[in-house]
Amino acid sequence: MKLILAAAMLAANLPLASMAFAHDTAPADVTVIDACLKTAEKTGGFGGACVGLVADPCIKAAEGVKDDVAKWRACAARELAIWTQKTNEALKKVQAGGFADVIKAVKDSQITFAASRDRFCAVFDKVEPGMYRGDASYCRLRETANRSLSLIKLGAAVNEH
């Protein structure tokens, strides 16, 4: 079962990996997200406020710069790499919980997650640039981050005892 989940994790992140890992995760960027997640955990929050903490200031700094749409996409990809890493860590924690039914449910949903996210997010490349700064890249960031936040909560829940 663990091998199956590992394969599902890899398959679910393949389209994402080619984009996200083209950008290294800067330690300072990871620290910003980690500090926010730690605060959310202490207050019982979900961590939604942590999404965009790296990309948004980067996008704001790129406004008015020639080719800002390409820069916005790069900003989104920079944070997407962090959330991809967080997702993979959360998947390992879910697996470590040892609940076969939970592992199977997560495995099954991960198989379709990346494809579903990428089909949905592609529409943002077809709307006016700036409507969703970073277009499909920013959409993938948000969708992946929200998925990661849910998996983080699930991983904590199945490892409580």
Cβ atoms of residues 146 and 51 within 8 Å? yes
- The amino acid occupying position 53 is L
pLDDT at 12 over 60: no
Identity of the residue numbered 31: T
**Each residue of 51-88: pLDDT tens digit?**
999 999 999 998 877 768 889 999 999 999 999 999 99
pLDDT score for 131: 73
pLDDT of residue 67: 67
Q: What is the pLDDT of residue 3?
A: 41
Convert the pLDDT of each residue in 93-130 to its tens digit: 999 999 999 999 999 999 899 999 999 999 998 887 66
- In which residue are the tokens 């406004």 written? 63
Can you spell out the DSSP letters for 9-58?
A: HHHHHHHHHHHHTTS---HHHHHHHHHHHHHHHHHT---GGGTTTTHHHH
**pLDDT of the residue at 127:** 84
CA dist 58 and 78 (Å) reads 9
By CB atoms closer than 10 A (0-12, 13-18, 19+), residue 127 is: exposed
Q: What is the pLDDT of residue 128?
A: 73
- Alpha carbons 53 and 112: distance in angstroms, whole number: 27
What range defines the domain where residue 64 resides?
2-158
Residue among 53, 69, 81 nearest 132 (CA): 69
pLDDT of residue 10: 42
Average of per-residue pLDDT across 140-145: 97
Asked if 117 and 143 count as a contact pair (C-beta separation under 8 A), the reply is: yes
* pLDDT (average), residues 142-159: 96
Total number of domains constituting the chain: 1
**Which one of 3-7, 33-37, 122-126 scores highest in mean pLDDT?**
33-37
